[in-house]
Amino acid sequence: MAAQRKVGGLGKGLDALFGDVEIDRAKAAEKKEKAEETPAEGGVLYIDINNIKPNASQPRKSFDEEKLRELADSIEQHGLIQPVVLRKAVKGYEIVAGERRYRAARLIGLKEIPCIVKTLSDEENMLLAIIENMQREDLNPIEEAEGLKQMIDKYGLTQEQVSISVGKSRPYISNSLRLLKLPDVVRTLTAEGKISMGHARALVTVKDEERQIRLAERAAEEGLSVREMEKLAAASDKPKSAPKKQVKSPDEKRVEEDLKKILGTKVNLSRKGKKGKIEIEFYSAEELDRLIDILKTLG
């Protein structure tokens, strides 16, 4: 099926995938017995879990083991209420939406799981996988940004089309994509949840990469708030004002010149109000001894 460029409707959610389908658990056994090898599209079928493979375009790379175990326990107790959405692959089926449910089902040893089979292009498959995860807030900020970038780079969508597809504003899309410009260390801390998307967004404004890393590590270690991070980031990019050059009076310059002639070396006179200091330069141990002898004679 040729890739389609009209993607506006995808942002309306996953209702179009599932429709009004419900699983009647009382009839589950009967449905399994009657399921055909190649089911009609849209019906709920029980499919051998070994004939299902993960989605190659799945934007989610990390799965929380503890939460996965909790989901597995829930499925074991109540059953898999929501079907996994699949599409036909060269061999078996590929997951479009529901990889967490698939993984949890494998954990408890289910042989078959309820599924809906859809006919989708590669583009539709990827878009729906991203949309499902974003709507469920299953992606960390970096996975989400990478998924959005893939929509633009691989399928040539504009940021406007991406915005419509995933139901997010243009500024949200732009800010998300900017996270991918951060150093690897900062992206890892964000992906692991050690700093939030708000922290990461504040760091994007910092021009120096080493400072970005230092601030990110500090935020992770000290638990800085996003507001604190924003203040630190703003302070780091303020241009440092050059120290004011002291303007010496004619009398001060004359004193410096007189002392230079007497001591035979450079002399610097600096004053702050009524206080100040005289600096006498020397360039060797012998010259220091000479200057000390001269100063002693002044006594």
3-state helix, strand, coil in the chain (%, to 5): 55, 10, 35
Count how many residues are written for the chain: 299
CA 201 to chain centre: 8
Maximal CA-CA distance, the chain? 116
Q: Catalytic site residue 160? A: no
Structure tokens at 175: 């800010």
Report the alpha-carbon distance of residue 191 to residue 196 in Å, rounded.
Answer: 9
> Residue 256 burial by CB count (10 A; 0-12/13-18/19+): exposed, middle or buried?
middle
b/e 140-151 (16+ beta carbons within 10 angstroms → b):
bbbbbbbbbbbb
Q: Which of 22, 37, 70, 99 is catalytic?
A: 99
**CB count, 10 Å around CB of 47?**
22
> By CB neighbour count within 10 A (0-12 exposed, 13-18 middle, 19+ buried), where does 212 fall?
buried
Supply φ then ψ for residue 219, to 5 degrees. Answer: -60, -40
Residues 149 and 180 sit within 8 Å (Cβ to Cβ)? yes
Contact indicator for 266, 260 with CB cutoff of 8 Å: yes
The answer to whether residues 124 and 2 touch, using CB atoms and an 8 Å cutoff, is: no
Q: C-alpha dihedral over 102, 35, 86, 160, to 10 degrees? A: -130
Active site members: 99
